[in-house]
Amino acid sequence: MCGIAGVVSNCGDAFNKINTLLKFIINRGPDAQKIQKIEQNLFLAHSRLSIIDLNVRSNQPMKGRDDISYIVFNGEIYNFKELKNTYLNSISFKTQGDTEVLLEGIIKYGFNFLEKIRGFFSFAFYDKKKNKIFLARDPIGKKPLYYYHFNEEFYFSSDLHGLSKIILEKHRKNINFYGLSHYLWKGYFHDENTIYKNIKSVIPGEVLEYDLKKKRLTTIKKNKSTSFSFKKIYNSKKVKNLLIEAIKYRKVSDVNISYLLSGGIDSSLICKLASEDEIIDTYYAYSKKDQSQFDELSNMVSKNIKSNHNILEIDNLDLEGMLKKNFQIFHEPFADYSSIPSYLIYEKISKKTKVAISGDGADEVFGGYQDYKIFFLKDLLKGFKLNINLSSIYKLFDELKIIPKKYLYLLFSIFLKEGDLYNLLFNGGWNLHFREKYMHEISFKNSFNSNIENDIKKKFIDCGKSSLERSFNSYLERLKFDFMVKVDRTSMINALEVRCPFLDSNIFKEKKITNPKKMVDLFSSKKELKEILNQLGLGYINKFKKRGFSIPLHKYLCEKKNRELINTLLDQNSIVMEHFKKEKIESMISNESNIKQNFFRIWILLVLNFWHEKTIR
């Protein structure tokens, strides 16, 4: 787990630029930093968090045995010893780590070698003979990799901070409004988009090739391995064994490991299986403002598995501090406010260890979301569907707020077209109706119109053969661009690696062809994991309603001491006032009732406004 960066530039200041990039990735790897001049115009940098083979021999950038290949690597390859013994047994290795295995594997087998990896990665590989740099990310996108290409300059980094600092000198107000539309709607950026038009993200599963001679960037490999294609194949015994194996692989470390234990299905199952052969250290975070049955559940599970349990309180929060920390972590607007408690618990854990294991990914891979039930029903319902304008659907949904949402979704699942139903499920942010109603006409028409909803609807329809299959694939996309971003940034700013057994490649290979009825139906979700919990004596957890890991944001927004901060949205120089109608925002924040009703929309604007003030203004 590290930070990587590179600069290709003929402008004479390449070394200064690589120094800038390195400065902003040190938090990702505080144990060792190195800059290496590879060619006259090419510099690579690496910042290391030492977890496997702690010796300096595994520091990077690393040169291959062929003397023409270099790599900077961020990630973990859990099966590196097996790969070494099976595919590279004729090589005399200089290190005991996974980086050298990845480097020599690519040299010998090309990028097809990546398909054999169990783990996660982002890396840059330089082939001196071809004079080309290759950038790659794993199919789930657990590790970030951003790049900037303009004329003869090409930079890349694990972090937006350094890249934005460099490019803002030339492109200060070059905001990516298409990506910003998605952010306003859902609270995060997707696909290759960032807040900056000139900085892009390598899409999970992609391999990009940059030709230093031709100054040309092309995509040479796209992700095809992470998509559900359901069949009626099922082996109930295999799931538990695969999960045990995935946990075992994630225990490969030369440093101590901690476990997150919320008391929910996912983390409890991981901790139960992990504790079968050792006493583990578990952590739980709670807020006095939002106490629940999970506070006691976490303790009950800990007693059951006999773990060393640590309970952390996260109530020392203030709204301005949350905005500052959010900016420090992401350096672009990111409104998933569960990132705040995630950061705080990772901060505590990082004081004791460099590695934590979590239950992330179970909802996406095993069918844990309530929305899956809606699309299960959608597959059962055939026949007439109303052709209604999407903005009108959002408006109707908003005006019928007195009716419980589950009944509204049931009603809309019967009458709406599938793509519109999928878009409707994301209604808490600035959806099409709210953008049209609250924004200046020219802003809406030119920059924030219906293009994003139309594109997402088309992408949804094209991503599977049935409603349920499409919903699984779409939430897998959200995992990549929202949840994995949150986990990586909030952990790595604390120099902590978070490992996720549910996202093991072998588990996914099994699950993506599973009969979906074994995972979800009209009345139950995540059925397989609940069955395993019953077998392990933790079935009482299944009786409790699912709860996300978050904070009661609406309560913080309604506190009187935060009124001044919320009123900054009305500053005439703010990006909010540039695009939104003042009287509409004034009404939205005018009283406690309106704030509670619109708290996520308000938070989205506060995060955007804070980023704009610190970066652009």
Residues 359-370 have pLDDT tens digits of: 999 999 999 998
Q: Which of 272, 246, 249 is nearest to 259 (CA)?
A: 272
- What's the Cα-to-Cα distance from 615 to each of 161, 165, 175, 333, 605, rounded to whole Å? 10, 9, 11, 11, 15
- Give the phi and the psi of residue 470 in degrees, each rounded to 5: -65, -40
Residue 235: count other Cβ atoms within 10 Å of its Cβ.
11
Q: Which residues are CB-contacts of 13 (< 8 A; sequence separation ≥ 6)?
A: none
d(CA 190, CA 313): 32
Instruction: At 97, list the tokens.
Output: 């780590």
Question: Does the pLDDT value for residue 192 go beyond 70?
Answer: yes
Query: Which carries the bigger pLDDT value, residue 351 or residue 411?
Result: 351
d(CA 364, CA 370): 11
Residue 303: count other Cβ atoms within 10 Å of its Cβ.
10
* Per-residue model confidence as pLDDT tens digits over 458-487: 999 999 999 999 999 999 999 999 999 999
Give me the residues paired with residue 127 across strands: 69, 132
d(CA 484, CA 197): 22
* Per-residue model confidence as pLDDT tens digits over 526-535: 999 999 999 9
Task: Please state the length of the chain.
Answer: 617
Residue 225: Cβ-neighbour burial (10 angstroms; 0-12, 13-18, 19+): middle
Compute CA 379 distance to the chain's CA centroid, rounded to the nearest angstrom.
Answer: 29
Q: Which of helix, strand or coil describes residue 134?
A: strand
- Whether 118 and 505 have beta carbons less than 8 Å apart is answered as yes
Compute CA 528 distance to the chain's CA centroid, rounded to the nearest angstrom.
Answer: 24
* Per-residue model confidence as pLDDT tens digits over 281-330: 999 887 766 655 557 888 999 999 999 999 887 766 788 999 999 999 99
Phi-psi region of 601 (alpha: psi -120 to 50; beta: other; left: phi over 0): alpha
- Whether 419 and 460 have beta carbons less than 8 Å apart is answered as yes
- Whether 438 and 584 have beta carbons less than 8 Å apart is answered as yes
With b for 16 or more beta-carbon neighbours within 10 A and e for fewer, the 364-403 pattern comes to: bbbbbbebbbbbbbbeeeeeeeeeeebbebbbebeeeeee
Strands 199-201 and 257-260: unpaired
Amino acid occupying residue 521: D
* Per-residue model confidence as pLDDT tens digits over 382-401: 766 777 888 888 888 888 77
Compute CA 502 distance to the chain's CA centroid, rounded to the nearest angstrom.
Answer: 14
Amino acid occupying residue 595: I
Amino acid occupying residue 306: K
Amino acid occupying residue 548: G
Confidence tier at 350 by pLDDT (50, 70, 90): very high
* Per-residue model confidence as pLDDT tens digits over 210-254: 999 999 999 998 876 678 888 766 666 788 999 999 999 999 888
Confidence tier at 156 by pLDDT (50, 70, 90): very high
d(CA 227, CA 204): 12
- Whether 470 and 418 have beta carbons less than 8 Å apart is answered as yes
Confidence tier at 427 by pLDDT (50, 70, 90): confident
- Whether 265 and 519 have beta carbons less than 8 Å apart is answered as no
Residue 329: count other Cβ atoms within 10 Å of its Cβ.
22
* Per-residue model confidence as pLDDT tens digits over 537-578: 999 998 877 666 678 888 889 988 898 899 999 999 999 999
Residue 223: Cβ-neighbour burial (10 angstroms; 0-12, 13-18, 19+): middle
Residue 302: the pLDDT is 94
d(CA 233, CA 514): 5
Strands 42-48 and 216-221: unpaired
Lowest-confidence range among 50-64, 118-132, 431-445, 565-579? Answer: 50-64
Strands 355-357 and 497-499: parallel
Strands 119-127 and 132-137: antiparallel
The pTM for the full model equals 0.94
Domains (ranges, CATH) in the chain?
2-221 (3.60.20.10), 236-366+473-543 (3.40.50.620), 552-617 (no CATH)
d(CA 566, CA 562): 6
